[in-house]
Amino acid sequence: MARMPFKTFTLRERPDREDDFERLAEASWPRFLRQHDALGYGRYWPSLYTTWADWQLLLVDAMGPTIAATHAVPLHWKGTAEDLPSSIAEILSRATADHESGRAPNALCALAVMIEARFRGQGMSPAAVRAMVDLARTHGLTTLLAPVRPSDKSAYPLTPMERYAHWENDDGLPLDRWIRVHARMGAELLSVAPRTLLITGSVAEWEHWTDMRFPDSGSYVVPGALQPVVIDKTADEGRYEDPNVWMRHAV
């Protein structure tokens, strides 16, 4: 696998690169996903840049540009499926509650991996996951938990995630390229997280976010969405739940 030389830094070490996280996010997620999450992760997100700066990573090319950025927070996880956070908001609220109560974390919980567009397709994504595993190890944590957003699921929005997550290619590896990266690194698929984000908005807002028209109530296949967006013209509301799959890396 072609790998370019890079160094890994925490945001604490490279505060001058803070804007790269936002820039990569802009280029990584469909516009509708970058709107207000009704489950409330937005309340906690700014703390990633302050309280949690030691856990946000940047992979920096030897020549200077940022190759990738990762978001994660440490939390205490009992090791059971029932104790997995149900949403991005809950990951952040759990980490915050543990931090404030002085409860020692035992797991690093990933929030996002973003590869700079021009560095994609060059085998850098395992390096970004590896950087999070190494960070967890440095801090004495025993697990990296990842709510994985399967990259290729948007091509199969009508398939339930429970089935999609188990689709395999001819080699017997996960069909989805991003689930496959984690699986190849030894991660285990734990469960489906059906609603990690909940995006709601008026029909006009959804039309703006998607460059589509929604003339009727019903379910719509929308580019970048992992399952249909549900439009209710009477209530003037569009609603989308972003499903992920939980994967666990031993550290």
Among 43-51, 92-100, 122-130, 233-241, which window interacts with ligand COA (CB under 6 A)?
122-130
The Cα 176–Cα 151 span in angstroms is 7
The Cα 120–Cα 226 span in angstroms is 20
Binding letters toward ligand COA, positions 173-202, x by CB under 6 A: ----xx-xx---------------------
Regarding 28 and contact with ligand COA (CB under 6 A), the answer is yes
Of 201, 245, 168, 194, the C-alpha closest to 37 is 201
In the complex, minimum distance from the CB of residue 71 to ligand COA, in angstroms, rounded to a whole number: 9
Question: Do 7 and 58 meet the contact criterion of CB atoms below 8 Å apart?
Answer: no
Regarding 113 and contact with ligand COA (CB under 6 A), the answer is yes
Number of chain positions touching ligand COA (CB under 6 A): 17
Residues 217-246 that bind ligand COA (CB under 6 A): none
Contacting ligand COA (CB under 6 A), which of 94, 149, 153, 182? 149
CB atoms within 10 A of CB 100: 9
Distances (CA, A) of 149 to 16, 25, 165, 220, 224: 28, 14, 10, 20, 11
Q: What 3-state class would DSSP assign to 8?
A: strand
Regarding 122 and contact with ligand COA (CB under 6 A), the answer is yes
The Cα 225–Cα 154 span in angstroms is 5
In the complex, minimum distance from the CB of residue 122 to ligand COA, in angstroms, rounded to a whole number: 5
The Cα 65–Cα 6 span in angstroms is 10
The residue (of 1 and 104) whose beta carbon lies closer to ligand COA is 1
Beta bridge partners of 9: 58
Question: Do 194 and 243 meet the contact criterion of CB atoms below 8 Å apart?
Answer: yes
Regarding 151 and contact with ligand COA (CB under 6 A), the answer is yes
Binding letters toward ligand COA, positions 39-78, x by CB under 6 A: ----------------------------------------
The Cα 237–Cα 84 span in angstroms is 30
The residue (of 72 and 95) whose beta carbon lies closer to ligand COA is 72
In the complex, minimum distance from the CB of residue 193 to ligand COA, in angstroms, rounded to a whole number: 12
Contacting ligand COA (CB under 6 A), which of 121, 160, 186, 223? 121
Contacting ligand COA (CB under 6 A), which of 39, 69, 107, 112? 112
Of 174, 127, 131, 124, the C-alpha closest to 153 is 174
Question: Do 245 and 192 meet the contact criterion of CB atoms below 8 Å apart?
Answer: yes
In the complex, minimum distance from the CB of residue 33 to ligand COA, in angstroms, rounded to a whole number: 10
Provide the binding-site residues for ligand COA, judged by CB under 6 A. Answer: 28, 112-115, 120-125, 149, 151, 177-178, 180-181
